[in-house]
Amino acid sequence: MAVTVKDVAALAGVSPSTVSRVCNDHPSISRDTKEKVRRAMAQLNYEPALSAGGNTNQRARQIGMVLPPSPRMAYENPFYLETLRGISQLCNQRQYAAALITGQDESEILRALQNLNQSGHLEGIVLLYAKEKDDIVEYLCEAGLLYVVIGKANQLAGQTVCIDNDNLLAGHEATDYLYQLGHRKIAYLGCNTMFLYSADRKSGYQLSLLQHGLPILPEYCVEMDGILSNDFPVLRELLERKDRPTAVVASDDILAVLLERTCMQIGLSVPEDISIISFNNSPFAQFTSFQLTSVDINSFQLGVEAAAQLINHAEDPNLLATKIIIPHHIVERSSCRRL
């Protein structure tokens, strides 16, 4: 079996990203650490791949920004646009170049990452999402690439730098908000819970129901994998129930807009017939006819902190992995009414 970056890192007692930087003669690595890693490489007969970038001192410093694999949805979500703006602003301030990486599926993203890594310019990666099992994270670990996750790490949680919201608390508070308005039949609309933020918001919703003595009804929890059409039977089914909910917690503003569109199609009004609270406080929240109440998760600040942490760890590999929680708050508008 071929010797990997992980094998060298384990023998030298350093991280895989440190081994990668030693191979590129990165100036942030001390002489003692370089010598220790090179002894381990020699002991294991490890031959690093040749980098096309040359000496680190003479090349542009670059970070990659990885969107979730999607043929369409990621490009339309203002959350990602605002987060990318935060990353780019911080990179400009610190004189780093930023490269956007995305694709229709994980294999396409992996190919793009491999090509970018082979250039020798890559300092690290910001993943703009977190999900249960991710082949891209496995590749980054195998390649010894530094990375930061926007979200909650599922793999190597104790060794991963994370920038996140407290999505469980946010889901809880959004549901509490509706309860305090007098709603007792509250539904949840989210995306696939393999994305950890949606799973946590759903858990917060369920916890709030339990604490208020309300039942958790499976038929009140709707999850959608994608948004590729203008008709959503699953939403119609929820809204046409005899015991239809009086309020909905939607895990994203886009989903809230789709819910409102379905309400209009079947003759329901927001907030007269149904109240909606959502997440992200994107432009969608303000451009809808009913002005959407939304949980502002500070998308821009998520991007700024992710880029700052990545650059800090790139310039000082001895920093410990950190988890930073960005605060959220509810922006009240007119999509919710008191019963």
Percent of the chain with pLDDT over 70: 91
Q: What is the pLDDT of residues 81-106, one digit of tens each?
A: 999 999 999 999 999 999 999 988 88
The whole-model pTM stands at: 0.81
Q: What span, in angstroms and rounded, lies between the C-alpha atoms of 311 and 305?
A: 10
Average pLDDT of the chain to the nearest whole number: 88
Inform me whether the pLDDT recorded for 55 exceeds 60: no
Average pLDDT estimate for 133-146? 88
- Quote the tokens at residue 197: 């933020």
Question: 275: which strand partners?
Answer: 247
Lowest mean pLDDT, pick from 37-51, 73-87, 303-317: 37-51
pLDDT for the residue numbered 335: 96
Of residues 88 and 46, more confidently modeled: 88
Cα separation of 227 and 276, whole Å? 19
How confident is the model over 143-154, as a mean pLDDT? 90
Complete DSSP assignment for 281-296:
--HHHHHSTT--EEEE
- Which pLDDT band, with edges at 50, 70 and 90, does 73 fall under? low
Residue 53: pLDDT above 50?
A: no
> 1: pLDDT confidence band, cut at 50, 70 and 90?
low
Domains of the chain (ranges; CATH) run: 5-165+301-327 (3.40.50.2300), 167-296 (3.40.50.2300)
pLDDT number for residue 185: 98
What is the structure's pLDDT at 23?
A: 79
- Is the distance from CB of 336 to CB of 277 less than 8 angstroms? yes
Q: 14 vs 276, which has greater pLDDT?
A: 276
Distance CA 300, CA 254 (A): 18
Percentage of the chain with pLDDT > 90?
A: 56
Segment 158-164 mean pLDDT? 91
pLDDT digits (tens, 9 = 90+) for 191-230: 876 788 999 999 999 999 999 999 999 999 999 876 545 5
Q: Average pLDDT for residues 8-19, to the nearest whole number?
A: 81
Residue 291 CB contacts under 8 Å (≥ 6 apart), including other chains: 285, 333, 334, 335
Which pLDDT does position 328 carry in this prediction?
A: 98
Query: What one-letter code names the amino acid at 306?
Result: A
Residue 58 above 50 pLDDT? no
Average pLDDT over residues 114-119: 83
Counted residue by residue, the chain has a size of 339
Per-residue pLDDT at 71: 66
Please tell me the distance from the alpha carbon of residue 141 to that of residue 6, in angstroms, as a whole number.
8
**Cβ burial, residue 45 (10 Å; 0-12/13-18/19+):** exposed
Which segment of 46-50, 122-126, 251-255 scores lowest on mean pLDDT?
46-50
Torsion of the alpha carbons at 109, 113, 114 and 115, rounded to the nearest 10: 100
What average pLDDT does this structure show over 305-328? 93
Q: Give the model's confidence band at 28: pLDDT under 50 very low, under 70 low, under 90 confident, else very high.
A: low
Distance CA(199)–CA(12), nearest Å, equals 38
Q: Which of 186, 141, 171 is nearest to 278 (CA)?
A: 171
- Is residue 56 pLDDT above 50, yes or no? no
Instruction: Using pLDDT thresholds of 50, 70 and 90, give the confidence band for residue 43.
Output: confident
